[in-house]
Amino acid sequence: MQMQKCVFLDRDGVLNRERGDYTYALDDFDVLPRVAEALALLREHDYLLIVITNQGGVAKGRYQRADVLACHQKLQAVCGHLVDALYYAPGHPDYSASLSRKPDSLMLERAMAKYNIDPALSWMVGDSVRDLEAAAKVGVAGILVGNKYPPQTHTWQTADLWQATHLILEQQKKPA
């Protein structure tokens, strides 16, 4: 079986607006501009699209798993059902230990095993250093998006998923 390439995507701050608080209510779940177009462009270039997100508010009792799933259904509806899989870690270190929660890499490992993903051909797009740390643990390159960190915090840094998509496609064309 041929290995596949994938773009792993953090959720809050990459796909939907980061509110600075937990995003779990559908009214607060706003998909960012150009996200649907970016996902479509990645799909045109044969990338699997897999969301990898920490949702510690579940462990804290701030919201339920059903709220997370409802937000993911809204994301899929807005983006034309282009996302192949959505993984989330409901734990929080103040309540329980979890290898799934980023910066640990279990969510990525599970997706890589299930979908036969080649880490050398794959990317992680996140708005936090912990997203990129999880990716590095499994040999996946990372792109930091947004403005939480100063320029040159990471090797690859862009304003948003749209720009990250173009960076991925540009790097894909370069000979190894």
Comparing CA positions, the residue from 116, 117, 115, 128 lying closest to residue 53 is 128
**Token pair 């990317």 is at which residue?**
123
Dist. CA 147–CA 160, nearest whole Å: 9
Taking only Cα atoms into account, the Rg of the chain, rounded to an integer number of angstroms, comes to: 15
Sign of the Cα torsion 137, 143, 147, 149 reads: positive
How far are the Cα atoms of 16, 22, 79, 110, 114 from residue 32, in angstroms, in the given order?
Answer: 5, 16, 11, 27, 28
* Per-residue DSSP letter, 119: G
Q: Is residue 127 annotated as a catalytic residue, yes or no?
A: no
Q: Annotated catalytic residue: which of 10, 104, 127, 160?
A: 10
Q: Is residue 104 annotated as a catalytic residue, yes or no?
A: no
Beta bridge partners of 86: 51
Comparing CA positions, the residue from 149, 154, 156 lying closest to residue 172 is 156
- Catalytic residue numbers? 10, 12
